Amino acid sequence: MKQKLIAFLKKRETIVALISLVIFGALLAVDLVTKAWAESTDVHQSEFFLGIVRFNFTKNTGMAFSMFEDNEAAMTVVTILTAVLIAAIAALFFTVFRHNTPARITLAVIEAGAIGNLIDRLALGYVRDMVDVSPLGFGVCNFADFFITFGGAVLLFIIVFIGKDALFPLKKEWREAAKREEAEKEALKATASEQGPAPEDHSATDLSPDEKTSQDGQNEPKHDE
């Protein structure tokens, strides 16, 4: 049992899963701690750092970057969709992207942001925002919003360009690996089609009714009189 556990922990997939779990926990903690700090201090900076960002605590009844603010019906839908998203991310982590390390780590980042905002919405009825980036054309947001937004962008980039399973692999070795894998699949299909279906045993079905009756009579057990 101990040896099996050690072997399981040494597997690449297990190591990546554990690293992703640590990243998820750390980012979720960062999000919740910064929200608690902003609310407890009620921070409101007057000047923007470099003219683009400042700390300005607000209670956001909408979603990321204050969209759908004070729209209760829309936020009910958003809350349900967030819960579905969280479940979908977990499913993708253990299925579709089980062998894709960059994608799994990115999913952990997105999951931390999604759960962070969901905790606020369910526990408080609003999301605590404190990062004001209004000069960039956005409203006030939080670290969870950044995790979701940038994590989603990175995940899309990975799906399109990174690894042999990407839509358009950037590296030559990924493209060659994808070609080899496709060639192997085609070879297996060709071999299977050449072999054809397994031959059926018609020895019993091809017999005439009289022959079947005769054969059945021979196969019947004899009883001593």
Catalytic (active-site) positions: 129, 145
Number of neighbours of residue 155 by Cβ within 10 angstroms: 22
Determine the 3-state secondary structure of 104 from DSSP. helix
Rounded to the nearest 10 degrees, how much is the dihedral formed by the CA atoms of 161, 166, 170, 175? 180
Q: Which residues neighbour 152 within 8 Å (Cβ) at sequence distance 6 or greater? A: 110
Q: Residue ranges of the alpha helices (H) in 42-71?
A: none
Question: Is the Cα torsion angle 72, 76, 77, 78 positive or negative in sign?
Answer: positive
**Amino acid making up residue 51:** G
Q: Residue ranges of the alpha helices (H) in the chain?
A: 2-10, 12-41, 72-94, 101-124, 143-161, 172-195, 209-219
| Selection from 78, 58, 69 nearest residue 141 by Cα | 58
**Amino acid making up residue 200:** E
Q: Which residue reads 């099996």 in tokens?
A: 4
- Each residue of 129-145: b (16+ CB within 10 Å) or e? bbbbbbeeebbbbbbbb
